[in-house]
Amino acid sequence: MERRSFIQAGLGLGALALTGKARADAATYARFHAALARDKSLAVYADQQGEQAGLAVIEGRLPKDLQGSFYRNGPGRFELGGERYHHWFDGDGFAQRWTLHDGKVRHHGRFVETRRFREESEAGQFLYPAFGTMFTRRGFRDNDTMNAANTNLLPFNGRLYALWEGGSATEVDPESLATLGIKTWRDDVKSMPFSAHPKLDPAGGMWNFGALPGANKLALYRIGADGSLLNTNVIAVPQLAMVHDFAVSAKHLIFVVPPYDLRDDRSLSLAERHVWAGATRPTRIVVVAKDTLALRQVFELPPQMVFHLGNAWDDGDCTRFDVVLHAGDALAGLGTLMSGTRQDNAPGRSQAVQVCLDYASGQASTARLLGTSEFPRVMPQVVGMRHRRLALLSCDRANRELGLDTVNLVDTDNGKVDSYRFGAGWQVEEHVLVPRRNARHEADGYLVGVAQDTRRGVGVLTVFDAANVKAGPLALASLPYRTPHCFHGNFLAS
């Protein structure tokens, strides 16, 4: 891909927020703190102050063969100068490392010191546009000026990267979590969007993309096992809006594009510019051929919002993949958390399904896997291949407010679900599947995650046997403090 083509594509995101005035956010700050005084469980969305380090108290027993680092990342700073962000996705990244070694669990967390974080800390106020809150107190040079590095923490090729949606990966030290700086894979992709959901190829290397909604384009990346950028391309996707995740099979890259229009109002944040268009347009599935990085085919589903996909695999002249579909505009509702308002747990709000793409007929069909749920993950050794186990979080119907409180392992062949519900007062974060050494099958390993015990106000590492989730945790490792609620992470075995 020529440098000029990538640079021109990259201008799309920066053009989304060039004008407008800073909008004071003191009202959101006041509403949240009033709600927090009434409901201490909202502390999982409270502002984090400074670094964290501690030794966990373990209930149960950690498996001897589960040793390594569980890296997590999510937004930690939501407030500055008496103002509070509008949207959960806006906060500065707070990288976390849970170290499992010799039967002990240690935790360390610190902010990713991006340019945005440093300059706003020095100024004592928010300066730059965020995903859901508009500030334009200071002009910006490129996408990385606004980089929050707040969505995922990815170990790759001996290095560790804090990932965002709209700009470069930020390298951090795998041991100390100290920020090392922006990662540029090649000069012609500098500051280009690089999604928070790369897919690691079990054979080595990595696939990723960057969404450019202002330019209606997707940037595609193939990176080798040694960290070199092997191939790139930019494909046109008309009426492109937020695309957060994708899936890879042996032959294809799968993108699901929800139906949004973008308001032509540069005084609004990117989130505020998204207008649900489900009444007039379907959700589109865009399939790209891996060998050429060119568009192969586009499919349609009824209008639904999508954040996360699971895994994909090719089945003859079809491709199958897992995805969580949300009814209506799920993006807007997440912003209410910043003012202390939770969403109601309405039946049918979302469901996990397996989609079958039939290339001959051009039709897409779905098969239900689980009800209200999110954060699908598979064992790392089956990425791009046929899988039979899918980890998901869900929300029990008895939980009147939408908060994930149940871990599940779904058998995608027969639909059976192996589940454990934490119960009242718990808020569960994404769980990942970790194989045992020389694992013989997909249930031969562990389900590892983090949950917030909001009654005690502490963060807890959780470990399940992937072959028997319903038996409950093998171990719970509780810290003496709460940890900021993370979005995504990965386990690196030692």
CB distance 78 to 122 below 8 Å: no
Q: Which of the 8 DSSP states describes residue 316?
A: T
User: In the chain, how many H helices and how many E strands?
Assistant: 5, 34
pLDDT above 80 (res 392) = yes
Is residue 486 very low, low, confident or very high in pLDDT (cuts 50, 70, 90)? very high
Closest to 422 (Cα-Cα) out of 434, 414, 431 = 431
Pick the CATH number of 3-493 from 3.40.50.300, 1.20.1090.10, 3.10.20.30, 2.130.10.10: 2.130.10.10
Q: Specify the range with the lowest mean pLDDT, choosing from 140-144, 254-258, 442-446.
A: 140-144
Percent of the chain clearing pLDDT 70 (strictly above): 93
Is residue 8 very low, low, confident or very high in pLDDT (cuts 50, 70, 90)? very low
pLDDT of residue 434: 98
> Can you give the pTM of this predicted structure?
0.94
299/287 Cα distance (integer angstroms):
8
pLDDT tens readout for residues 68-108:
999 999 999 999 999 999 999 999 999 999 999 999 999 99
CB distance 474 to 436 below 8 Å: no
Helix locations, 306-371, DSSP H:
330-333
CB distance 169 to 126 below 8 Å: no
Burial 106-132 (b: 16+ CB within 10 A, else e): bbbbbbbbbbbbeebeeeebbbbbbbb
SS3 260: strand
As a dihedral over the C-alpha atoms of residue 224, residue 228, residue 234, residue 240, rounded to 10 degrees, the angle is 70
pLDDT above 80 (res 204) = yes
Q: Maximum distance among all alpha carbons in the chain? A: 58
SS3 311: strand
pLDDT of residue 395: 87
457/36 Cα distance (integer angstroms):
13
